[in-house]
Structure 1
């Protein structure tokens, strides 16, 4: 006979096993938290996510781009509950590789534990084209990471419809998972000019805003211009900015760079009813980065995700800065598995007034007074943070499903991030204030000094001629 005490332990053990089984079943049913179910669903709806023949199967007129790219994306609330938006969609982009439309937005995780259910179909601006009779298609939702326990998380929806002529919209029907509310909106479909990305680098920059309490407009412009000009020398072909709030003087400079084809600027705001500081992490940073990922990946093979006080600086065996495209080749970034990202660990170059004013670093007469941090700051904090702590990436864009702030969250097929040696292969240069620490010399940017000087002299002359702005004042 089993003693009473043993029977009690047996009952407790059975209860614990049942609880564990329920938890496992719950996680299995949690669609977006379960990568196995996600990929099963993806294959069911769309076939293999990286079919080599996907380009030939999709025939989309490039005129769609002309019709839709002129209007910038803007947030649209699909539906709300208790006065708060539940689902907001920001953009709809046709992806040549996936052969479907990618919707980017955010949802309220307090009112909806999982992303709301979404169906979609094509619509048209032309009244003579009747698409409303087309059947609704089920979209696959994917909740982004790094919500930092705030009420709104980023979300991606993969919508299995293909635009076939210009002026198309995608009509989206969103339904709360508990069937408490629903709504419909229409979004313009943005389509890239080409289905084959150039073997070049583009940079995605998170929400850009000017804070007059921290610096003058001229100081901000100097930082912005140096960021663009020096990163161009490091191999960045194009920059994607998301503009939260910039005064007219800074906007004029941005328009100049738009005019010469170096940058794209997308207005960024949150839907009405969402608190900028309390409801979503860092002004929607994850939404911005992943919107940029799907915006740029049909145009550029390589992407980096940085702020305007940062530069990815790969180096050769001599410790000299080299081009990012060359670094991608050197470290075998691959489009089909293998290495899909290079990880640059975080190095801090804090202000060094004594060095900057000592005349130790000789500058051309026309740049005297300019605070060119990439040249003047050649000492950094000796300690370098471990990988994933403030690190930044160079990625093969079409390999990535969800990009994180400091690492890859999810890729379309198995691949790795190669962590670069900060001593011999490359480092993230972060020009900012930092806690005091032991300083060491870093001469990696010295080899670019003449090129940087030439680029910034040209930029200073152009801006002074066009707008009367003196970068060095």
Structure 2
């Protein structure tokens, strides 16, 4: 009996070694054809927003099913990678309903807009095996990765549903112990007046007071917070170009965050706005975003990307206002945008930067000021007499005399509602 038991153990050991060897050979194979590897799904679901890959210079944020033209039945993983040093990667799919695991080669697509930084926003594309319908995917960096230790990424957007909301604002990463409380609340309340349903904030760091304000908006249901600890993995710059600050990645990984936000809301929101928290896409011809977009979409039925010019309203130029019920605002940290209704003129031979309202289902890759890849849809540049980006910040043309600037009090149209709403939030949070 003992001899028979030893023989069984020997057979089991040989079988295990065969499976491991077979797995190694298949992963080493660069063929894109899916290959059966093992029969058990293993691993632990990724717990953080940014997951580093072992033995590689790449990071994964999230996985999304992409069944649009060009990528039928593909999984797209949004991430960050070094433009030179990233090595070949493989998608390990956990198939349903049989629980088999299959591996396919990943196509690595680093976005063009890196602005000189070595790390950039990256898409990984993996064709899903036939008859698989995976719920999870993990990423293999080499054949020696221990599969039971690989993080599993849930493949989102598997079910394409009708958009339950109209407008979602995706805000660039909040960092540097952000404490511009008054302007943040004013922007949030302006978004709500204009028609926002949800604001997604990729939060790296902010002040304790700002945390209190964020908690208010989260409880209210307006804000969704995505933790964004990118500086735990890379040296990050608060500048847009590598020549200005030689770090690993620019603007705290802004482009990756915006792309993730587009895919995160692909089937949750009719439109997604991509901007910073000190920017407001401000209608001039219409009262709110809904009436504006209805008209723009009617005029441009083949477009899903609408581009709005950014105009600087210098925070150093004040316009006296005699408004009631704002005396308490002086004790709140931050800028009062109602005091800044003077904008800089266009610069000769320089195009104004822009921000966008997009139909997320029409976007493949986005940058900060333009969409890099679409599914054949046109980009419409909206004239500033229809709408513009109100951007209250430090001036770009600081030496211009005041008479060369342009008075533009469009935002004052919303004074009554804005003041009332801001006071309500301040009473609940700061005052």
Q: Same fold (TM over 0.5)?
A: yes
Contact 1:95-1:294 within 8 A present in 2 as well: no
SS in 2 for 1:349: strand
SS in 1 for 2:419: helix
SS in 2 for 1:137: strand
* 2:309 counterpart residue number: 345
Q: How big is the shift at 1:276?
A: 2.0
Alignment of 1:35-434 (within 5 A): 73-80=48-55, 85-94=56-65, 100-112=74-86, 116-122=88-94, 131=99, 133-161=100-128, 168-175=135-142, 185-189=150-154, 191=156, 195-198=161-164, 200-211=166-177, 217=179, 220-270=180-230, 274-277=234-237, 278-316=247-285, 322-332=287-297, 338-352=302-316, 354-355=318-319, 358=320, 360-364=321-325, 367=328, 369=330, 373-383=336-346, 389-412=352-375, 414-422=376-384, 424-434=385-395
Scaled by the length of structure 2, the TM-score of the pair is 0.75
Q: How big is the shift at 1:187?
A: 2.8
SS in 2 for 1:242: strand
* 2:240 counterpart residue number: none
| Structure 1 position 456 matched with structure 2 position 425 | no
Distance 1:288 1:421, change over 3 A: same
The superposition leaves residues 409-461 of structure 1 with CA deviations (integer Å, 9 ceiling, x where unpaired) of 0002x121111111x11111110111323211112112211111121121122
SS in 2 for 1:206: strand
Query: For 1:99 and 1:452, how far apart are their aligned partners in 2?
Result: 46
Q: How big is the shift at 1:160?
A: 4.0
SS in 1 for 2:141: strand
Distance 1:93 1:259, change over 3 A: farther
Query: For 1:207 and 1:368, how far apart are their aligned partners in 2?
Result: 25
Distance 1:354 1:239, change over 3 A: closer
Distance 1:313 1:365, change over 3 A: closer
Contact 1:79-1:183 within 8 A present in 2 as well: no
Contact 1:196-1:299 within 8 A present in 2 as well: yes
Query: For 1:73 and 1:273, how far apart are their aligned partners in 2?
Result: 12
Contact 2:165-2:197 within 8 A present in 1 as well: no
Contact 1:207-1:268 within 8 A present in 2 as well: yes
The superposition leaves residues 195-244 of structure 1 with CA deviations (integer Å, 9 ceiling, x where unpaired) of 221351111111101347xxxx4xx2222211211111122221111111
The superposition leaves residues 163-210 of structure 1 with CA deviations (integer Å, 9 ceiling, x where unpaired) of x999953222235xxx9x978632331646972213511111111013
SS in 2 for 1:406: coil
The superposition leaves residues 346-386 of structure 1 with CA deviations (integer Å, 9 ceiling, x where unpaired) of 2111125552xx3x342325655366633221111122688
Count of residue correspondences = 368
Contact 1:366-1:457 within 8 A present in 2 as well: no
Query: For 1:75 and 1:248, how far apart are their aligned partners in 2?
Result: 23
The superposition leaves residues 113-167 of structure 1 with CA deviations (integer Å, 9 ceiling, x where unpaired) of xx7332230279xxxx973x332234443221211122112111233449x9999
Distance 1:385 1:136, change over 3 A: farther
CA RMSD of aligned residues (A): 3.5
Distance 1:365 1:260, change over 3 A: closer
Q: How big is the shift at 1:109?
A: 1.6
Scaled by the length of structure 1, the TM-score of the pair is 0.69
SS in 2 for 1:236: coil
Contact 1:343-1:387 within 8 A present in 2 as well: no
Contact 1:94-1:189 within 8 A present in 2 as well: no
Query: For 1:374 and 1:190, how far apart are their aligned partners in 2?
Result: 41
Contact 2:317-2:340 within 8 A present in 1 as well: no
Q: How big is the shift at 1:279?
A: 0.7
Distance 1:353 1:379, change over 3 A: closer
Distance 1:353 1:344, change over 3 A: closer
Query: For 1:244 and 1:123, how far apart are their aligned partners in 2?
Result: 35
